[in-house]
A and B are shown apart, each in its own frame.
Chain A
Amino acid sequence: MTDQLSQAELVRQSLKRRYRKEWRFRTYGILAIGVAILALVILFTDIISKGYTGFLKTTVTLEVPLDPELMYLDDPTDPEQIRMADFVAPLQQALLNELPTAEKGDRRELGRLMNSYAANQLRDQLQANPDWLGTTRTMTFLANTDVEVYVKHKDDEAYSIKLSDQQQRWVDELVDRGVVESSFNDVFFSSGDSRDPSNAGIAGAIVGSLLTMLVTLCLSFPIGVAAAIYLEEFAPQNRWTDFIEVNINNLAAVPSIIFGLLGLAVFINLFGMPRSVPMVGGLVLTLMTLPTIIISSRASIKSVPPSIREAAEGIGASKMQVVLHHVLPLALPGMLTGSIIGMAQALGETAPLLLIGMVAFIVDVPGGFFESATVMPVQIFLWAGSPELAFIERASAAIMVLLAFLISMNALAIWLRKRLERRW
């Protein structure tokens, strides 16, 4: 009797301790989540606070006098004359007209407010519209990167302003008059890389990423699914298939740079394919994503209940009919989810592409699978390493674009799973 009482007493005494233990355990869990969320918040605030200005461009809108004498040009269709013509002078003159305080001797200093490729833009537009010669046109140009940095970050100590005091006063005046304006940065989404931050865009990298991903998807999805079906449904259970299975699982954990080395050795050195092209990039990333797709496809085939197979076999379906008509459609949502996650992983990959030459300065937007290209994470890497401070905001803006792509791919995977998945 006394023994039993002390038993109950013991339990009561330990109760407090056990509650405390549970409370501690839950607190640890909450703390862990808190740390994770904090890290995420820090990451996002850092990227967004640094990068949102990357989505703004600074433009200069001028009344440009297309005076033949100023440009030493009387026939814009003559390539020889175009080459010898002076396209900077009209821009300087236009700025001089806007700024009553500036004097003729300031032309050179004024010209520095214009983008380094403003003269090229003027030349191209004049070549396209020869009849503009002799008229005065309202044209919009990108501002010089130094002007852009000044307009955006004049109060930010991290940026060094490279304009002289005189130039700063001019820019302030031009901003007041609405000549210098900030607007949405469409250049960022429509042009390729540039060494001048104000002209740099992510279009080349986006197209490069899409081309590379297309190759990866077209190869890794059918190969992965076919391999998974064979291994799961048809392959005999023996030492060979065990060996293959272990190897596939191992491959999923191999560092991605190894696949880059393999790609360099096989596709470029052995098959003689060109460097830096989306085709080779796609092949390398295919190798990298295949294990992920095979493993997830096998898991989703496994999760199809045996009763479905047995029912199909029961009414006389052949093995192939069972697989193609019943197992595959039911396993497809899981396979798609796995593939999309594998593709998202491949989209963010840089290391293997380094070795096959896709980490390169490429200005022209690629037009096919065999044209030089980079991908988005590589572009971010290249900009983050550039000496120009204005590239930092571009890099952060590009990170946001990449994150948007990744989030929408993952959202698609979740949506597909929610919509197509069946529970038994």
Chain B
Amino acid sequence: MIKLKTAFASVAVAGAMAAVSTPTLARDTINIVGSSTVYPFATVVAERFGRNTDFPTPKLESTGSGGGLKLFCQGIGTQHPDITNASRRMKPSEFKNCQSNGVKDIVEVKIGSDGIVIASSKKAENLDISLKHLFLALAKEVPNKAGDKLIANPYKNWSEVDSSLPNKPIVVMGPPPTSGTRDAFVELAMEGGCGEIAMIDSMEKKAKEQVCHSIREDGAFIEAGENDNLIVQKLNSDTSAYGIFGYSFLEENSGTLQAAVVEGKEPTIENISSDAYPVARSLWFYVKKAHVGVVPGIAEYVAEFTSESTWGNNGYLVDVGLIPLERNARMQAAKNATSMKTMTGEELM
């Protein structure tokens, strides 16, 4: 029985020790949070950085743009992240939140663009669609034939929206409302489309936004979860469906998938970086200047991210699907980033 007792005692002591000893460590690893869209790019940079320098590999958490900025703006100190990625620009309210929590000096870096594609299996008929028709096919409420009031979306087939579209039922898989991709899709595609409809455009701002931002819930639009791979797999098995996801997933699956032509523009690198393709957004990251020099390697990481061999036209981020900025904009952004030029808050207004 003595054996049993000592065994118990040692387990209990080990447990107690593990519970009590919580040292507050000075952190030597860069902590990065933020957008799941920037995540595939930032992880590649982080890993290269870790392998090519003596600094530890930065830790990346995919929290979404909003979640990342919230964590980032919580304060100064090693328990808070050093860098946050975002698939949209910081909002003035978020900047104010940062300021009031003592995060005064923030460096903003625009890294490139990402296109949102409407893809289908190569075996299916490809869409050639305008934003207006896309809105009519996917909105919750659309104007009636007379154009004097809103009715629940009656369109079952693409061809009912416009005769130029395929005579097939509308089945579109896309991300849920929690996703940044969904936000961007709604903002760029749906809003762009509903602005072209005179009746909705003349509505007052609040009501208009309500109509433009609502996606139909009658089964034609399927929320497929945050996992874009799932949508890709479903598109391969169901050739009548279309899927909405980021350009990098299209490039990775270019063997089996094709992307819809929107407003006469194909989602190619050239069209997205020149803003000709309408459903594209910019990607950003934000650096907490107060942590530079406290957590080792932040300046070096920013330098690595903004070097030509990383985000340039032939950089390794292009291989994973980033659409780079144009050269002049890139050079200016790199200069601002390496000199740690801080935001004033004016640029967000």
Contact of A160 with B by CB under 8 A: yes
Of the candidate stretches A92-100, A128-136, A174-182, A324-332, the one touching chain B is A324-332
A82 to B: closest C-beta gap in Å? 11
Which of A226, A276, A363 is in CB contact (< 8 Å) with B61?
A276
Main secondary structure of the interface of A (DSSP, over half): loop
Contact of A372 with B by CB under 8 A: yes
Q: Is the CB of B40 within 8 A of A387?
A: yes
Q: Is the CB of B25 within 8 A of A370?
A: yes
Contact of A71 with B by CB under 8 A: no
Give me 21 A-to-B residue pairs in the complex whose CB atoms sit less than 8 angstroms apart, sorted by A's number. A120-B51, A158-B236, A160-B256, A194-B47, A226-B12, A268-B79, A274-B78, A275-B61, A324-B4, A361-B46, A361-B61, A362-B60, A363-B50, A363-B57, A364-B56, A370-B23, A386-B229, A387-B228, A387-B248, A387-B320, A389-B253
Given A385-B227, A387-B40, A387-B228: A117 in contact with B51 (beta carbons within 8 A) = yes
Contact of B29 with A by CB under 8 A: yes
Of the candidate stretches B14-22, B166-174, B212-220, the one touching chain A is B14-22
Q: Is the CB of A195 within 8 A of B236?
A: no
Mask, B57-96, CB within 8 Å of A = 1, is 1011110000000000000001100000000000000000
Distance between Cα atoms of A18 and B50 in the complex (Å): 73
Contact of B24 with A by CB under 8 A: yes
Q: Is the CB of A388 within 8 A of B252?
A: yes
A residues neighboring B (CB under 8 Å)? 116-117, 120, 157-161, 194-196, 215, 218-219, 221-223, 226, 268, 271-276, 279, 282-283, 324-325, 328-329, 357, 359-364, 369-370, 372, 384-389, 392
Distance between Cα atoms of A110 and B147 in the complex (Å): 61
Q: Is the CB of B29 within 8 A of A386?
A: no
Contacts of A387 in B (CB 8 A): 40, 228-229, 248-249, 252, 320-321
Q: Is the CB of A195 within 8 A of B11?
A: no
Q: Tell me the residues in window 195-226 of chain B with beta carbons closer than 8 Å to chain A beta carbons.
A: 226
Q: Is the CB of B47 within 8 A of A157?
A: no
Contacts of B43 in A (CB 8 A): 195, 361
Contacts of A274 in B (CB 8 A): 25, 27, 78-79
Beta-carbon nearest neighbor of A192 in chain B: B57
B2 to A: closest C-beta gap in Å? 11
Contact of B163 with A by CB under 8 A: no
B180 to A: closest C-beta gap in Å? 14
A393 to B: closest C-beta gap in Å? 13
Which of A160, A283, A362, A363 is in CB contact (< 8 Å) with B254?
A160
Q: Is the CB of A361 within 8 A of B59?
A: yes
Q: Is the CB of B47 within 8 A of A362?
A: no
Contacts of A360 in B (CB 8 A): 59-62
